Amino acid sequence: MLQLGDAPVLLQDHGPLAGRLSEKVKEEEKHLKGEKRLSSDHKSYKDMYENMGADQELKLKKLLKEQQALKENFSTNVKQSQLFAGLVNLLKLKHEVVQKE
């Protein structure tokens, strides 16, 4: 498996892009060693992306639970909507009768 230290060897002789990538790799190594911090919330890009992945997993689990609850309650919700539509019709008819009197 490749390590961060292997990147300069892999990026040799590939022009200015390789130089910039090599600098980024060296910066990330400093972050991981604790010599530098990426931000107040994350010590390195690896840490930042791991946290972002964990956040996305939590959001996915929450959405899946919501989806399951919606599927489980679908027939109840449809029946309630039908009952409400019937109530609205009944109230309209009652209003018409009261106006005619």
- Would you give the end-to-end CA distance of the chain in angstroms? 88
In a domain, residue 76? The reply is: no
In a domain, 78, yes or no: no
What's the predicted TM-score (pTM) here?
A: 0.53
Domain-embedded: residue 75: no
C-alpha distances in Å from residue 94, one per residue of 23, 60, 84, 88: 78, 48, 15, 10
Domain span at residue 5? 1-36
Would residue 70 count as lying in a domain?
no
Q: What does the pLDDT look like over 9-59, one tens digit per residue?
A: 555 556 677 778 788 888 888 878 877 777 788 888 888 899 999 999 999
